[in-house]
Amino acid sequence: MKKFALLMGILLTVGCATLSGPPAPSIDGKWEGTMEMMGQSMKLGYEFKSDGNMLTGIAIGPQGEKMDITNGKINGNNISFDVEVTGQMTMTINYTGVLMEDELELTMKMDMGGGGPGGGQMPEIPPLKATRVMDAE
């Protein structure tokens, strides 16, 4: 009877681990993608660091400018974060995305703080597909 109880305990443990599914892939590291906007291609980069369900790091603009990632969250394979862009005017880019192993699909909404068309929201931008940058060994 003890052997049966032990066997059942092992099977339940293995079964529960299997039912919970594989862990979400890690987002940590460098990512690159190209965004099409107003007829131009712009290369963007990201360096992500996760800590539990929190996401931090930097976004790298087309001219190599670095901006902090704020309000970053991870929920399984879904992420969200903000990047504040300053220059002639200040705007916040709100990102949402889905992580699929070494590919990341990001959707961006640009909030111009009420100063642009449509009450501060820019027209929708096509999703950006970023890929993980593998370090040369």
- Predicted confidence at residue 116, as pLDDT, reads 52
Bigger pLDDT: 36 vs 72: 72
pTM of the predicted structure, to 2 decimals: 0.75
Which fold, 25-132? Lipocalin (2.40.128)
Instruction: Supply angle C-alpha 103, 41, 25, rounded to 5.
Output: 10
Rounded Cα distance, 88 and 34, in Å = 23
Question: Could you report the per-residue pLDDT of 71-119, keeping only the tens digit for each?
Answer: 999 999 999 999 999 888 889 999 999 999 899 999 999 887 655 555 5
pLDDT higher than threshold 60 for residue 131: yes
Rounded Cα distance, 58 and 29, in Å = 11
- Domain ranges in the chain? 25-132
- Predicted confidence at residue 12, as pLDDT, reads 52
